Amino acid sequence: MIKNLFLYNSLIGEKVKFEPIASNNVGIYVCGPTVYSEVHLGNCRTFISFDVIVRYLKFLGYNVRYVRNITDAGHLENDADFGEDKISKKAKIEQLEPMEIVQKYTLDFHNVMSLFNTLPPSIEPTATGHIIEQIEMIKSIIKNGYAYEVNGSVYFDVKKYINDGYQYGKLSGRDIDELISGSRDLQGQQEKKNPSDFALWKNASKQHIMKWPSPWGTGFPGWHLECSAMGAKYLGDQIDIHGGGMDLKFPHHECEIAQGVSANNVDPVKYWMHANMLTLNGKRMSKSTGNTLLPEEIFSGENEILKKAFSPLVVRFFMLQAHYRSVLDFSSVALSASEKGFNKLMEAKKVLSNVKFVQKNINTELDSQIVNLIEACYKHMNDDFNTPQTIATLFELVSIVNTCNNANSFGEISKETFIYLQKTMNGFILDVLGLDNLDSQSNDKSAQLVELMLSIRNEAKNNKNYALSDQIRNQLNEIGITIKDGKEGTTYSIT
Ligand code: AMP
Ligand code: ZN
């Protein structure tokens, strides 16, 4: 397949043609969660956005290596260079070992991701598992003259980097003069040559739990370093795509660029991609302000802002109805509308899978209309992963299928177009958008099982084996399936 993908590179603020560094192989790195609490729905939006991006790259036939890390050390409160490690802080509150906190919330994250039907990354490296790589990277940065040691901590020298002609601030558009001339009075800033310098390694106090030996004494890595070290280790000194939420542009990703350039003398990322924020009541969903919703609250409906519960795939569909670079506001009303759309799409997919092709006279206009719409699905996804436009086009195909479906047969188009249509609908709905209707599939299976039990019971009754037929009825009753024998046959209800 000829690939014609364009994506928005946030480094230059433009849509550009995607050309991987190494022919058909694509490396993508996405900043993963800091596992000190449950992921909120905002975090999930970013991971779902990148899940669709990875899925579409695979769908186009690229060999994708997808690396998404777990931050399990070095991320300090307020995303700053001083203060307590977020994980150690939570460990004290919950009276657990930091690694118990890491385990608990990593499992929660994996569970939520699989409910949302996101594909697992190819590699999921942790910061604590890559301390050696991080120390090696710091050594290279020091050797190249872009970092200095003070009291067992190592800081990146932003001024030296700029003086040598590099652009610190090129991703986030921050005014670097302002950063450099900023206040020096903040806690922990006294050691730095300039307030904009950032920590690569921090000297650990006695009370600090998560610490490791290093050439500069016992300490721990700065938060920005892990992604640079692990990205380079698994995807090379220059990565095709690096992603994360918009809020990570500064300082996290800006620092990653400076680290990569100063350690390896190459821009570490070819295409930067940033997903926009999920908001609640118009404000960014954020753990620090408490303006959050947990996925579990939506699946159970247990939150006062929700009118009812919603399934994970409806929530996924709701998110994909917005473009990943647009802000999306969460509301129960919007989710209800998405639920209707989702059910309609699933129903049409089922109809299209079951409909028989019976060749009639070919309506060439209809045939080419369908081919054009199929091509539009690719066109929209090739246009910076435009999922809302793709979904709108799938709906146009759905209404054609519903109009033309005549007693479960369809034949006004060529067989070739029909097969292309079936393949495209399934491919986009299941493989690209990841909208596999897991819930209804398992419901379908349960319904089939109950029907099977009822037919065995019927046979037992016909053979006058009332002991078996009663046993089946009673045992189904015990698990909440009530059977009613009527004139029209046996029906059941589930309580
Ligand atoms: P964290 O665990 O705080 O490092 O965040 C994990 C990911 O979630 C990062 O890529 C963040 O940019 C992203 N994120 C945080 N809040 C939101 C939000 N309200 N909407 C979308 N993404 C978010
Ligand atoms: Zn990162």
Q: Are residues 215 and 295 in the same domain?
A: no
pLDDT at 449: 86
Burial of 39 per CB tally in 10 Å (0-12, 13-18, 19+): buried
The pLDDT-based confidence of 442 (bands split at 50, 70, 90) is: low
312-320 and 332-354 helices cross at what angle (nearest 10)?
Answer: 100
Q: Are residues 260 and 311 in the same domain?
A: no
Domain assignment present for 49: yes
Query: What residues have CB less than 8 Å from 174, skipping those under 6 apart?
Result: 250, 254
Joined tokens for residue 273: 């991609």
Average pLDDT (329-349) is 94
Query: What residues have CB less than 8 Å from 217, skipping those under 6 apart?
Result: 152, 203
Query: Which secondary-structure segment (H or E) carries 375?
Result: helix 364-382
CB 61 within 8 A of CB 298: no
Percent of the chain with pLDDT over 70: 95
Top mutation candidate among 43, 102, 227 for ligand 1, by most atoms within 8 Å of CB: 43
Does residue 106 have its Cβ closer than 6 Å to ligand 1?
no
CB 385 within 8 A of CB 324: yes
* Residue range of the domain that includes 489: 441-494
pLDDT at 398: 87
Distance 33 CA to ligand 1 centre (A): 7
* SS3 state at 93: helix
pLDDT at 443: 57
pLDDT at 294: 97
Q: Are residues 445 and 421 in the same domain?
A: no
What is the rounded CA–CA span in Å between residue 33 and residue 227? 12
Alpha-carbon separation of residue 256 from 135, 193, 218, 245, 483 (angstroms): 15, 20, 23, 14, 63
Joined tokens for residue 276: 């926009």
The count of structural domains within the chain is 3
Only one residue has tokens 């946030």, namely 10
Residue 120 DSSP one-character state: P
Q: Which protein residue's CA is at the shortest distance from atom 12 of ligand 1?
A: 245
Please say if the pLDDT value at position 439 is more than 70.
no
Please say if the pLDDT value at position 421 is more than 70.
yes
Does residue 285 have its Cβ closer than 6 Å to ligand 1?
yes
Average pLDDT (201-228) is 94
Q: Which protein residue's CA is at the shortest distance from atom 5 of ligand 1?
A: 33
Please say if the pLDDT value at position 374 is more than 70.
yes
Indicate the range of 203-207, 289-293, 317-321, 341-345 predicted with least confidence: 203-207
Q: Are residues 418 and 446 in the same domain?
A: no
* SS3 state at 58: helix
Please say if the pLDDT value at position 183 is more than 60.
no
Q: Are residues 242 and 285 in the same domain?
A: no
What is the rounded CA–CA span in Å between residue 208 and residue 478? 55
pLDDT at 180: 67
- Rg value, the chain, Cα: 27
Q: Are residues 307 and 252 in the same domain?
A: no
Domain assignment present for 405: yes
Joined tokens for residue 285: 């969903």
Does the pTM of the predicted model rise above 0.85?
yes
Which atom of ligand 1 lies nearest, measured to the CA of 247?
Answer: 12
Domain assignment present for 61: yes
pLDDT at 429: 97
Mean pLDDT, the chain, integer: 92
Domain boundary among 275, 305, 321: 275
Indicate the range of 135-149, 246-260, 433-447, 451-465 predicted with least confidence: 433-447
Q: Are residues 250 and 289 in the same domain?
A: no
Which atom of ligand 1 lies nearest, measured to the CA of 35?
Answer: 2
Does residue 41 have its Cβ closer than 6 Å to ligand 1?
no
What is the rounded CA–CA span in Å between residue 453 and residue 492? 11
Please say if the pLDDT value at position 184 is more than 50.
no
Query: Which secondary-structure segment (H or E) carries 418?
Result: helix 415-426
CATH number of the domain that residue 230 is part of:
3.40.50.620
Domain boundary among 403, 432, 461: 432
Please say if the pLDDT value at position 332 is more than 80.
yes
Indicate the range of 91-105, 217-231, 346-360, 443-457 predicted with least confidence: 443-457
Residue 128 DSSP one-character state: G
Domain assignment present for 99: yes
Q: Which protein residue's CA is at the shortest distance from atom 11 of ligand 1?
A: 245
Which residue from 359, 361, 377, 375 is spatially nearest to 418, judged by alpha carbons? 359
pLDDT at 482: 81
More confident residue, 447 or 133: 133
Domain assignment present for 115: yes
Top mutation candidate among 46, 101, 227, 284 for ligand 1, by most atoms within 8 Å of CB: 46
CATH number of the domain that residue 416 is part of:
1.10.730
Q: Are residues 176 and 99 in the same domain?
A: yes
Domain boundary among 246, 275, 304: 275
Domain assignment present for 198: yes
The pLDDT-based confidence of 362 (bands split at 50, 70, 90) is: very high
Q: Are residues 388 and 271 in the same domain?
A: no
Please say if the pLDDT value at position 487 is more than 70.
no
90-123, pLDDT tens digit by residue? 988 999 999 999 999 999 999 999 999 999 999 9
Which atom of ligand 1 lies nearest, measured to the CA of 278?
Answer: 20
pLDDT at 78: 74
What is the rounded CA–CA span in Å between residue 235 and residue 63? 13
Please say if the pLDDT value at position 407 is more than 80.
no
Q: Are residues 243 and 353 in the same domain?
A: no
Q: Are residues 21 and 153 in the same domain?
A: yes
Please say if the pLDDT value at position 356 is more than 80.
yes
Query: What residues have CB less than 8 Å from 150, skipping those under 6 apart?
Result: 191, 192
Domain assignment present for 1: no
Q: Are residues 392 and 469 in the same domain?
A: no
Does residue 68 have its Cβ closer than 6 Å to ligand 1?
no
Does residue 278 have its Cβ closer than 6 Å to ligand 1?
yes
Does residue 273 have its Cβ closer than 6 Å to ligand 1?
no
